[in-house]
Amino acid sequence: MCKRTVDAVLAECPDADVHVYMDGATSYNWKRGNMHSLAKKPGREYFYQVWNRILADARMAEWDHILALPDDFTATPNAITRCAEIYERGECDVLVPVVDKRGRGPCWVPVDPVKKGDLWETGWVDGCFYADRRMFGALDWRVPDFPPEHFQTNQSSGVGKYMSLDLHAMGLTISQVEHTLYTHGDHESRMHKEHRRVTPL
């Protein structure tokens, strides 16, 4: 799935600076983009380490906009171009280009989503987003601290949740597209099978 995702990005944007962060993979039979093999023990308890590495690397790099994509997302035609066009309108600080099965209800932050034109201001973000440096700067370039007891609950990694809580508290606008630009399959989660069974994407 990762190869398919990277191939799709480079097919649409051949000059994109692609970085792939693999949490647990040990071998590859292909090489496109910059490969980073991190924690050898995949799972939700280690996912924040992956994101702290991403944020640290992003802080040192030169870039204007970033598109974060899980490796199991499938793009609709011209998805990156559409992300850029929507984001450049200046109507949000963070754009979520995927509509998943969690729907339009509240998620993590204490607000009800509000429709504004062809966007929904939701206040929350997960692992798929389009943004500029303001997002990571607001987080001080690291995943917010969260309580160890988080992992004693039937929740996922906590990365999206605690990023969302901090970004919302700082007043950043997080909006979701009306019509999804990426789709997520119904395959079994490798990170947290029970949580994905209860809360499908």
Instruction: Name the domain count of the chain.
Output: 1
Which residues of the chain form beta strands (DSSP E)? 19-22, 34-37, 65-68, 73-75, 94-96, 114-116, 119-121, 129-132, 174-177, 182-184
The pLDDT tens digits of the residues spanning 43-95 come to 677 888 889 999 999 999 999 999 999 988 999 999 999 999 999 999 999 99
What domain range includes position 86?
A: 2-198
Rounded to an integer, the average pLDDT of 165-192 is 82
How confident is the model at residue 197, as a pLDDT? 47
Distance CA 4, CA 16 (A): 15
Rg, C-alpha atoms of the chain: 16
For residue 39, name the pLDDT band (cuts at 50, 70, 90): low
By three-state DSSP, how is residue 136 classified? helix
The pLDDT tens digits of the residues spanning 188-197 come to 545 444 544 4
By three-state DSSP, how is residue 161 classified? helix
pTM: 0.86
Q: What is the CATH number of the domain that holds 113?
A: 3.90.550.10
